[in-house]
Amino acid sequence: MKKKAFLFDLDGVIVDTAKFHYLAWRNLAKEMNFNFTEEQNELFKGVSRVKSLEILLDLANYRATEEQKTRWLKQKNMEYLTFIDGMDEREILPDVVRVLDFLHSKDQGVALGSASKNARPILKKLDLLSKFHAIVDGNDVTAAKPDPEVFLKGGEALQIERSHCIVFEDSIAGIQAAKNAGMLSIGIGDTKTLGEADYVFRDFTEINTDFLINLIDK
Ligand code: BG6
Ligand code: MG
């Protein structure tokens, strides 16, 4: 059996936090008198906090001062963290733990590759820290997805070459980042949005053992 690296995004892949990011941005958008839709939110997935605010200001056609931007970034994160506070294991997406445990049982490399600066506290709260050999998050990178940095660092941390890395992602930017890294990409979500990925599954319940074994042996 070969050794591969499996790199997991966090928000919307491991845990159902994408909806909390959306709610917090939507509430901020209201202050700009802007109606932020779920469709527009697809562009925010995988994108860093600072970049997300820039996109929102553009969409809302709103000119903000640097001071206001800093205040809004803080406000958005504080609201997001209140949602996170109320979260428990039920927010872990279906069959994620089954897949993580299976990969561990086959002695595969498992790492987190997330844009979030809140990744570690979220994993800790959900008691998932021990499921990862390495964690690369928003505090470790300078370039945001679709730049490949986060996944390249994940592969490096596990000492596995990029052609042996497999990325699970729910965002357009994240699938592009995996491609830019020269890694196999697996979209978690709908085919319409994630059509660029090598494979797309609605969620991990659709990913069976045979599929994972094939990825390992490829
Ligand atoms: C990504 C999310 O995982 O992390 C984005 O998909 C989010 O929506 C980004 O903006 C940064 O997260 P955080 O927790 O640092 O604000
Ligand atoms: Mg995501």
Q: Write the pLDDT tens digit of every residue in 41-52.
A: 988 999 999 999
Domain 5-16+89-217: which topology?
A: Rossmann fold (3.40.50)
Rounded mean pLDDT, 87-101: 96
| Residues around the ion ligand 2 (C-beta < 5 A) | 9, 11-12, 170-171
CA-to-CA separations, 21 to 12, 28, 31, 52, 185, in angstroms, rounded: 10, 11, 16, 10, 23
Domains 5-16+89-217 and 18-84 belong to one CATH topology: no
Is 51 a pocket residue for ligand 1 (Cβ < 6 Å)? no
- 33 CA to centre of ligand 2 in angstroms: 27
Asked if pLDDT for residue 126 goes beyond 70, the answer is: yes
Structure token pair of residue 188: 């978690």
Q: Write the pLDDT tens digit of every residue in 55-75.
A: 999 999 999 999 999 999 999
Give the start-to-end residue ranges of the domains of the chain.
5-16+89-217, 18-84
Q: Write the pLDDT tens digit of every residue in 14-44.
A: 999 999 999 999 999 999 999 999 999 988 9
For domain 18-84, the CATH class is: mainly alpha
Rounded mean pLDDT, 202-217: 98
> Is residue 9 flagged as an active site residue?
yes
* Residue 117 Cα: closest atom of ligand 1: 15
Task: Give the predicted TM-score (pTM) of the model.
Answer: 0.95
3-state secondary structure of 48: coil
